[in-house]
Structure 1
Amino acid sequence: MKNLKFRSLLLLSKKERAARRIGFDPKTTLVLGENDTGKSSLIKAIYATFGADPAVIHPNWKSLGVVSMVKFDIDGATYRLLRSSSIFALFDGGGTKLWSVSGVTSNLAPQLAEVLGIKLRMQSREGEFVIPPPAYFFSPFYVDQDAGWQRNWSSFASMQQFEQYRPSLALFHAGVRPNEYYAAQAAKIEADRAKAELSKERDALDRAATRLQAGRKVLTFDLKPQGFGDRIEELTRRATVLRAKQDDVKIKLSALHSTRAMLVEQTDIAGASLAELDADFAFLRKSPDAEIACPTCGTLHQNDFTNKFSLIADVDTCRSFLLESRQDLERVDQEIAAEKKRFTSFDEDIIAIEAILNETKGDLRLRDILESESERLVDEAFATERRDIDLAVGERDGEAEAASAVMKSYADRKREKSIKDFFAEKLHRFALHLQVPTLPDSFFKSLYANPPETGSDQPRALLAYYYAFAHTVREFSSALTAPLVIDSPVQQDQDPANAQRIIQFAVDNVPQGMQLVLGSVRLHDATYAGERIELVDKRRLLRTEEYDDVHAELEPLLNGLL
């Protein structure tokens, strides 16, 4: 099991040129503030940095374009996770970038699952088992003030991406189906997928073999190519001579085609130049001016007999070059045609080869011998490929069976009962402590049932549920324990005694080794040991006076995204 703990949270808005730095106590951090002081925005930003957006985000907060960074430890190793819009980047404690991704489900989720040691796979609506988004990693550890006190497992947005997600998450996080179960499940899925691909390959191989065998002659005796040994040697010699001649022609054709391409280009250039020179001469001849200015550079040129004669000479030279190029191109085309004809006219060698192939000894032709031998070699190749595929299928079968055995080992009824009994005992004790004594027995038997209470009893029942489940995670899970982040547990106009009881319960009953970040309007006379963050400015969570310091720390990380 990996244990996640927060060290600090940095928030930065370049739009507002304001920022905030929050440090977290290793055990307990209380965030206190009246309404509209940004308490909930601060708390929501923690897991949102990990790609787990809360169910409700205030539009004013969205408009600030806040960049967030959480510094955290996992089993003693320090990391920094940066979020800028939909881009996420992980850095080690020294600021070296480990990876950066864009998009939560397809890219961030697998990376974070690796870092956090999450093996959970959930079945998508398309039937595939995939790594779910980070919200599913942290669902037991976050209670949002807007949705978390209405129904359990609903504090993050878009939780309906997977049907019936509550049972799957409860079984995973409680340890009924721990990391090892899902690692085995992934191995079985991969083995089954590989088997399906191998079956397709085997079917394609069988179809190809059937087609090749369909038109064969049926020979009932053994063919021995040794009887044609001298003729096979002659066949090989003739074929080698023919191949050498054909290769020689290919080389010449390649050189001729290169020469032709060059001549075509020269002819095109010469033709274009001749047209320009003819146009220039026609212009000089028609112009009455003694001097003509160049339209490009403005230089004056004499329109006299000397210049006209020089232009005529250039036209004649260009025309002669063009004619020579066209003659060379015609010659090369003739040579190409001759070589192509030569390529297909090696009649003597071809006739000799056909004669050797048709030569008979008894009732057999050498052609029959060679065809039969080729077919035998093809059949052997098909058989070898079949054996290899069958062997690979057997290996995948073994992997799938081994994975299934691991999965079945976690279907132990006694183990599941012990986990549920532990949870029920904690839930019963916590519910009594929070003075919610009327919960039905069915609620204690389910790891994911929502309490049926209403009014002021409902948030206390949910608090008892969340803490009972957190203790179950700490006791039985092999996956992840993360900080409990709880926003505004005093809901539904609690009386002073219950308000004090709720806060005191929340700080006193955190599972051993877990971290608590608790947000509340006030302390309600509860006592605790830890960090205290008080927010006093209305609609001013971020501070302009902290901007330079936070910006200096985040700017190198933001540059790392580029």
Structure 2
Amino acid sequence: MKTFKFKSIWLLSDSEQTARSESFSPKKTLLVGMNHTGKSSLIKSLFTALGAFPAGQLDRWNKDTTVLVEFSVDGVDYYVVQQRNNRGLFDAQGRLNFTSANATDWGRNFAELVGFNLILTDRKLKSVTGDARTFFLPFYINQDGSWLSDWSTFDNLQQYQKPIGPVLEYFTGVKPPEYYDLNSQKLVHQKDLSELRGEEKVIKTIKDRFGRTVPLDGPKTMPEVFEQDIARLTIEINEINSEQEEIRNNIVRERETAESLELQIKMAHQALSQYDSDSSFLQTEPHNVLVCPVCHAEHGKTFMDLLRYSEDARVLRNLAVELKNDHLKISRTLEGSKDRLRSLDDNYRKISNILETRRGDLKLNDVVRAMGAESAFAAFEAELSELEVKINPLVTAIDKLNRRLSELTNRKRSNSILSDFRKYYDIALKSLNMPSVETGKMNLNRRPKISGSGGPRSILAYYAALWHTSLGEYGSFSIPAVIDSPQQQGQDATNLPIMIEYIATKLPSDMQIILAVEEPTKFKFEKVIELNEPYNLLSPDQYDQIRKFIDPFTDAMYRALLG
């Protein structure tokens, strides 16, 4: 599992000659301060520096402030310096890796750095790689929007077409990073295969057209071409012979079926004829007593009811009609089989004649034409053989990738992940003093929509379920959970401590947590940052020291951008 952690942040305002630096615990950090003391400014600067602009305006904040953030990816440290849209990435020794003056370039480089390979669709229906906004989206609860029922965490998410579902599926493991790696390989293979198939089709078309102009059954002067013809024709005649045998067997069975149906139809007609005679006799002659013509027993008139002549005759007529229809069908099938057999016999005789043709007394013109034709056909076959050597491995590779992609997205895996998510959500609701809800139909991207003070608690439970699931069996990334701030929509003195306690004690133990609150708490946080002065997050006391530290980064960035 890849791990991303925030380590430190430096803020520098040259116009105001103020600055500030803070570091974060790899476990739990608490930002404490009343409104306007800079909690949100500090947190939003973290994300802005990395290319994700949080929603919401910062009051009295200098947009020219230089931000330097230290972070780690799988234990490897990096620095990013940001001023306006300009960014530079440095390694732990301060060596410049790359610079960017626009969001697109930075987003691509950032995604590559952290190993974020999610593919999304933009508004123009083009495939694009996710950037820092989608990387941090499920892990940052922004006080300006994230506590509501929609995803308003970062600005300009509308650039993507329905990004929420794919983002959540990516981090929870429904479609993990491996899926996108394999799918990317598959697309490359499919493109190569398509080009080769197109080339193969062109060569076959030219060969077929050339073959209609220069017949294949002409004289052969090149031994290898002659051998190829013999081998090809032998295969064809064996295939025809095999198909002939199969069709002959089918014809025998079909003829037997047709004869059987003819006999049944004849018997049905005879029975119907006998019925008509008996019925006419019974209806035209007066009979008080019926004498059986076989045993000469005498029966009363109810014997006609027992015989049920009318019903028997109706059934017999229906049977005769069905038999006739069946006979017509089998007759058509039989004729089709005979036609196919005649066609195969013609092809068999034609190929046999070619194989038995003597290569004797050839005319000079035949030889000259044959030499050119043979060379051309040999070239066609060589080209097709080379293409086949390239095509076969691609087909095999694509099949293998399809099998692995099916394994990664199979229903059992998806149901297991969704089941975990629902379980964690239900547990979180109970811990946050919320009633249980029906989660049987709850999907990953279905945010709760609860009004009043219960709304933020249900939102926290929802995010917590995502975080637990993302760090579960199928997850691939450990990303800090940043929460600003749970005191929303009038949380009372009972429920606010419950939310803070849950964050401090019930979230995944190996997850980095940064929590912003207004008042201190009794629950343990490894690092506590206290902010006391409204609108004075940055201080003149630290300006000189921090400027000396940041200047080498900004100087290197601008030299690269301007050089």
TM-score normalized by the length of structure 2: 0.66
CA shift at 1:552, angstroms? 7.5
**Residues 1:378 and 1:467: Cα distance change in structure 2 (over 3 Å):** same
Structure 1's unaligned 5+ residue stretches are: 225-362
Deviations 1:86-130 (A, max 9, x none): 3433222111223334x6675334433333233322344555544
Query: What is the 5 A alignment of 1:441-480?
Result: 442=439, 445-480=442-477
* Separation of aligned partners in 1, 2:83 and 2:378: 60
Q: Give the AA of the match of 2:135.
A: F
* Separation of aligned partners in 1, 2:367 and 2:59: 85
* Separation of aligned partners in 1, 2:391 and 2:103: 32
RMSD: 3.5
Residue 419 of structure 1 corresponds to which residue in structure 2?
417
Residue 538 of structure 1 corresponds to which residue in structure 2?
534
* Separation of aligned partners in 1, 2:111 and 2:139: 16
Verify the 8 A CA contact 1:29 1:533 in the aligned structure 2.
yes
Secondary structure in structure 2 of the residue aligned to 1:533: strand
Q: Give the AA of the match of 2:419.
A: D
CA shift at 1:427, angstroms? 1.4
* Separation of aligned partners in 1, 2:73 and 2:212: 64
* Separation of aligned partners in 2, 1:412 and 1:81: 39
* Separation of aligned partners in 1, 2:435 and 2:555: 50
Q: Give the AA of the match of 2:518.
A: V
**Residues 1:219 and 1:398: Cα distance change in structure 2 (over 3 Å):** closer
Residue 33 of structure 1 corresponds to which residue in structure 2?
33
* Separation of aligned partners in 1, 2:365 and 2:61: 80
Residue 106 of structure 2 corresponds to which residue in structure 1?
108
Verify the 8 A CA contact 1:181 1:410 in the aligned structure 2.
yes
Secondary structure in structure 2 of the residue aligned to 1:532: strand
Q: Percent of pairs identical after alignment?
A: 28
Query: What is the 5 A alignment of 1:245-264?
Result: none
Residue 95 of structure 2 corresponds to which residue in structure 1?
96
* Separation of aligned partners in 2, 1:93 and 1:538: 34
CA shift at 1:447, angstroms? 2.0
Residue 10 of structure 2 corresponds to which residue in structure 1?
10
CA shift at 1:148, angstroms? 0.6
**Residues 1:532 and 1:435: Cα distance change in structure 2 (over 3 Å):** same
* Separation of aligned partners in 2, 1:408 and 1:556: 45
Q: Give the AA of the match of 2:386.
A: D
Query: What is the 5 A alignment of 1:243-282?
Result: none
Q: Give the AA of the match of 1:437.
A: P
* Separation of aligned partners in 2, 1:15 and 1:555: 20
* Separation of aligned partners in 2, 1:162 and 1:218: 58
Q: Give the AA of the match of 2:76.
A: A
**Residues 1:372 and 1:14: Cα distance change in structure 2 (over 3 Å):** farther
Verify the 8 A CA contact 2:144 2:152 in the aligned structure 1.
no
**Residues 1:389 and 1:457: Cα distance change in structure 2 (over 3 Å):** same
TM-score normalized by the length of structure 1: 0.66
Residue 487 of structure 1 corresponds to which residue in structure 2?
484
* Separation of aligned partners in 2, 1:200 and 1:69: 52
Residue 342 of structure 1 corresponds to which residue in structure 2?
none
Structure 2's unaligned 5+ residue stretches are: 223-360, 542-546
Matched, 1:118 2:116: yes
Verify the 8 A CA contact 2:99 2:557 in the aligned structure 1.
no
* Separation of aligned partners in 1, 2:154 and 2:197: 42
Residue 66 of structure 2 corresponds to which residue in structure 1?
67
Query: What is the 5 A alignment of 1:230-309?
Result: none
* Separation of aligned partners in 2, 1:128 and 1:122: 8
Verify the 8 A CA contact 2:13 2:62 in the aligned structure 1.
no
Query: What is the 5 A alignment of 1:425-436?
Result: 425-436=423-434
Secondary structure in structure 2 of the residue aligned to 1:475: coil
Verify the 8 A CA contact 1:428 1:444 in the aligned structure 2.
no
**Residues 1:92 and 1:443: Cα distance change in structure 2 (over 3 Å):** farther
Verify the 8 A CA contact 2:110 2:131 in the aligned structure 1.
no
Deviations 1:506-526 (A, max 9, x none): 22223121111111222355x
Secondary structure in structure 2 of the residue aligned to 1:518: strand
* Separation of aligned partners in 2, 1:420 and 1:29: 30
Matched, 1:134 2:116: no
CA shift at 1:459, angstroms? 0.8
Query: What is the 5 A alignment of 1:150-161?
Result: 150-151=148-149, 153-161=151-159
